[in-house]
Amino acid sequence: MARTHNFSASLVRKSTSLMDLKSPDIASASRPAPAPGRPSLLSRSAEGATFLIVLQVGSRALTFVANQLLLRYLSPELLGISTQLEVYSISVLFFARESLRVAIQRQRDTNIEDERNHQQHSGSKVEDEKSLAARKTQEVVNLAYISISLGLFFVLVLAWAYLQSLGSNPSVLGTPYFRQSLQLYGFATFLELLAEPCFIVVQQKSEYRIRAAAESFATVSRCLMTCGSAILAARNGTNIGVLPFALGQCTYGLLLLSVYYRSVSAIATAGGFSLMACPIRSRYHIAVSASLVTKTDA
């Protein structure tokens, strides 16, 4: 009996050790495998940070070289006025979009799985992951149009305030093509705000390559337009004041908007959302509305 008991105990220990050896494989098999060929969020964030750092350093270096070249053809006074126009454009962009950018970027922290669980508990039909992601992206795209509306308001108000502040400085108002340059800066700033829905989608989808390509191409084109028009006017003996800077800013806004929409439109088509402001009517809201109508009829 003792031998039988010892044999049974040893058999149990061996089976237990065998189960311990197999358990890691079973646990690992139960975990969902990452999608093949899809980079992780950490690697995409690191790649995006690298792109943005290179973009900022490159744009600053290119702007410095362009300003050094323009000093040969333009006076320091004109460079100072162009700086004021740049501050006007930056102020419009800041008041129109920065607070909303912070608020919209928090939208992507919402867990899609949590919302699907909420739909299950509420008794409504559960949306699939693709349609739910498309609806959430459409929500932030719609919010981005608030920045465009605010931008149109601040373009007009800050331009009026800037002109009022120059009442005691007639030398700036007497600069050739100053008012036309101010109008072009306002137009270019509004063009840049029109690309805000695309920027929000790029940030939400972590498509930093698109942002780097759009901003770098627009920055290079702006420098070429500014330097080219200033050099051409100087060689022809024409004083066009700060108009080269305004032309360069318009080139920047137009190309930024074009590259963004051309690149992000493919993402919108594949993701099932629109880059225009559209009403959102999810199946969850339809189910809730139907239940309310049923209760009212009852």
- The pTM of this model reads 0.75
| pLDDT band of 122, cuts 50, 70, 90 | low
Q: Residue 229's pLDDT is what?
A: 94
Does the pLDDT value for residue 152 go beyond 70? yes
Arithmetic mean of pLDDT, 30-58: 63
Sign of CA dihedral 208, 209, 211, 212: positive
Q: Answer whether residue 184 is part of any domain.
A: yes
- Does residue 17 form part of some domain? no
Question: How do residues 11-22 score in pLDDT, each as one tens digit?
Answer: 444 444 444 444
Which residue intervals of the chain are DSSP H helices?
A: 2-30, 41-70, 76-93, 99-105, 112-122, 129-165, 170-173, 178-194, 196-205, 208-235, 243-271, 283-297
Radius of gyration of the chain (CA): 29
DSSP codes joined into one string, 155-224:
HHHHHHHHHHHGGG-HHHHTSTTHHHHHHHHHHHHHHHHHTHHHHHHHHHHT-HHHHHHHHHHHHHHHHH
Asked, for residue 113, whether it belongs to a domain, the answer is yes
pLDDT in tens, 198-228: 999 998 888 888 988 999 999 999 999 999 9
291 falls within a domain: no
Assigned domain for 27 exists: no
CB atoms within 10 A of CB 100: 18
Within the chain, what is the greatest distance between any pair of CA atoms?
Answer: 116
Give mean pLDDT, residues 81-97: 95
| Mean pLDDT, all residues of the chain | 78
Q: Which of 30-44, 240-254, 283-297 has the highest mean pLDDT?
A: 240-254
Q: Which two tokens stand for residue 125?
A: 């039909």
Does a structural domain hold residue 74?
yes
Could you tell me if residue 122 is inside a domain?
yes
CB distance 200 to 140 below 8 Å: yes
Tell me how many domains the chain contains: 1
- The residues, ordered by sequence, that sit 6+ positions from 84 with a Cβ below 8 Å of its Cβ are 162, 172
CA distance between the termini of the chain:
76
Quick check: 123 pLDDT over 80? Answer: no
36 inside domain = no
User: C-alpha distances in angstroms, 136 versus 111, 122, 133, 198, 204?
Assistant: 11, 19, 5, 14, 10
Per the model's pLDDT, the better-predicted residue between 197 and 27 turns out to be 197
Q: Which two tokens stand for residue 69?
A: 């070249």
- Structural domain span for residue 199: 57-278
